[in-house]
Structure 1
Amino acid sequence: MTAPNILILGIGNLLWADEGFGVRCVELLNERYRFPDGVRLMDGGTQGIYLVQHVQQADCLIVFDAVDYGLAPGTLKIVRDDEVPRFMGAKRMSLHQTGFQDVLALAAFSGAYPRELLLIGVQPEELEDFGGSLREPVRAQLEPALRVALEFLAERGVVAAARDGDAERLAPAPLALGRYEAGRPAEELAYRHGDIRFIPQQPLEDD
């Protein structure tokens, strides 16, 4: 019997506070665990429709994301299978969510659609802090979210093994959680129109 192809996908934008929840989840899984062949971890970022080919190849899809469920900030909610597209597009909290709903629709239309879908979503607290990081109620759900994913995999005979060395990064090193937060300027010094670390600097013209 052929082992299923499992895609573990984190989507969202690291630069907009709680929007980065999904990507932080797959980042932690990748740092801590090795998975058997057939299991792939992916930082989907805000790629939207460009993720369709990856979804089409998956027999089982696990998605981590910040989702506006209309619940208290930091609430973790698990959605499965046919209910997933409805929640990915229920409220337009960010552009990538609408895009991922379209990804699922295109995969279904093509006839190459995962047999199982699991959405592990958290209700965000803050989305308007450009260059900010996860707020505490959302950060507190990282570990519970990982446990949900690992238990879901274990029920299907997929066991993650603890890493004994460094993992290949899913995203550039400056965006890793610890380094990203350490480089964040103090609030009184931060450029409030964005994060100065990610805005190209133009030389000032002479008067």
Structure 2
Amino acid sequence: MDACTPEPPCHRSGDNAVIVLGIGNLLWADEGFGVRCVERLQRDWELPGVALVDGGTQGLYLIQHVQAAERLLIFDAVDYGLAPGTLHEVRDDEVPQYLGAKKMSLHQTGFADVLALARLTGRYPRSVVLIGCQPEELEDYGGSLRASVRTVLPQAVARGLDILRGWGVAAAPRTRALDSAEAVTLPHLAIERYEAERPSADDACRVGDARFFPERS
């Protein structure tokens, strides 16, 4: 290769790092799907050699995780134009297209940029899999997953486990209690506590106050 010709992007090798990344915002209804998947994986399974990450809406700050991964599994709410609660899996070069084609919130375009930047730096995962779920409701600040999305969490996690096992991860049901310091989500945002303690829609308007946001005729 000529010295003036830039080297093409290459895959990482040697450390075989497996990273599972949940993207989204727990405070905006079905936007929390990705993080809830990672939370449930950690709650129910022991995954030696796997790093679980609550990516939230960190955007470009997630570059270090992508660059460190040999294999990257992503959970996210994605607008596929399908029925709410529908799961759809895409792999490798198709992943950025789905994370950037139909922007639902700031984090998606940001993460598509993260993948592009990782490729430009030559530190890109060998395998990337996105397990996306079609959301039902996003415009509900302080709300939680809708039933159509929450119902498929076990199915999404099961599919994620199949992928991890295919990558050689020796997944086993959790026998050791999870220390709160290890938890991917803060204790007060864990789904059981969040559901039990958040105000109802009657006590805290989450979709806009009609006095200030009147309906359009």
Could you say what secondary structure the match of 2:160 adopts? Answer: helix
Matched, 1:51 2:62: yes
Query: Counterpart of 2:78?
Result: 67
Segments of structure 2 that go 5 or more residues without pairing to the other structure are: 1-12, 209-217
For 2:14 and 2:60, locate their aligned partners in 1 and report how far apart those are by CA, in whole Å.
28
- Whether contact under 8 Å (2:75, 2:130) holds in the other structure is yes
Query: Counterpart of 1:35?
Result: 47
For 2:141 and 2:170, locate their aligned partners in 1 and report how far apart those are by CA, in whole Å.
37
Query: Counterpart of 2:127?
Result: 116
Percent identity over the alignment is 60
Provide, for residues 104-133 of structure 1, a one-character-per-residue CA deviation record: whole Å limited to 9, x for no partner: 000000000001000000000000010000
For 1:93 and 1:131, locate their aligned partners in 2 and report how far apart those are by CA, in whole Å.
17
Give the letter for the 1:162 counterpart.
P
1:142-181 correspondence runs (5 A): 142-167=153-178, 168-181=182-195
Give the letter for the 2:23 counterpart.
I
- Dislocated runs of 4+, deviation >4 Å: none
For 1:133 and 1:36, locate their aligned partners in 2 and report how far apart those are by CA, in whole Å.
30
Query: Alignment partner for residue 21 of structure 1, among 11, 28, 33?
Result: 33
Offset, 1:191: 3.2
Could you say what secondary structure the match of 2:74 adopts? Answer: strand
For 1:35 and 1:160, locate their aligned partners in 2 and report how far apart those are by CA, in whole Å.
5
Matched, 1:191 2:205: yes
Query: Which stretch shifts more, 62-71 or 27-36?
Result: 27-36
- Aligned residues between the structures: 193
TM-score (norm 1): 0.89
Segments of structure 1 that go 5 or more residues without pairing to the other structure are: 195-207
TM-score (norm 2): 0.85
Matched, 1:9 2:59: no
Could you say what secondary structure the match of 2:195 adopts? Answer: helix
Query: Counterpart of 2:213?
Result: none
Offset, 1:158: 1.2
Query: Counterpart of 1:197?
Result: none
For 2:122 and 2:139, locate their aligned partners in 1 and report how far apart those are by CA, in whole Å.
38
Offset, 1:24: 0.2
Could you say what secondary structure the match of 1:44 adopts? Answer: strand
Pairwise CA RMSD of aligned residues? 1.4
Offset, 1:165: 2.6
